[in-house]
Amino acid sequence: MSHHFHAVIWIDHHEARILEFDASDVNAATVRPHHAAKHLHVKSGSASSWRASEDPKFFDDVSARLSGIHEILLVGPANAKLAFLKHLQKRHATVAEKIVGVETVDHPSDGQLVHYARNYFKNADRMLPQLD
């Protein structure tokens, strides 16, 4: 196991896909809100469509899965990831500090996500002093 333990989270209002990985291994988990998504069918494009589904308990559950991770890349469609980041900053500051990047990524497969995140961290790690 490397001493940099990375994760990428892809989050929207229906689920959060958390992929923890190092150079050789990937561990995937999915966290879903407790409420049924069908109550949230608001016309897309209306101002309330994303606010309606903000779920602090869901965000807390996702945050709980991230303890012990050193660097986190947060990705997803437009609003959910930013709402999640704000929630972390307010309620889970130690996790928020580990977010190293926020990127808009639509609906990738897990494999595409890990590939994207590995490249992201490889490029970012070149800029960090070596701790060995």
Nearest alpha carbon to residue 8 among 107, 131, 128, 101: 101
The pTM assigned to this predicted structure is 0.77
| C-alpha dihedral sign at 70, 76, 81, 84 | negative
pLDDT tens for each residue of 107-122? 899 999 999 999 998 8
Place of tokens 């990831």: 81
Taking only the tens place, the pLDDT of each residue in 54-88 is: 689 999 999 999 988 999 999 998 789 999 999 99
Which two three-digit tokens encode residue 30?
């999915």
Instruction: Give the residue extent of every domain in the chain.
Output: 6-35+42-125
Question: In residues, how long is the chain?
Answer: 132
Q: Give domain 6-35+42-125's CATH architecture.
A: 2-Layer Sandwich (3.30)
**Once rounded to an integer, what is the mean pLDDT over residues 10-39?**
85
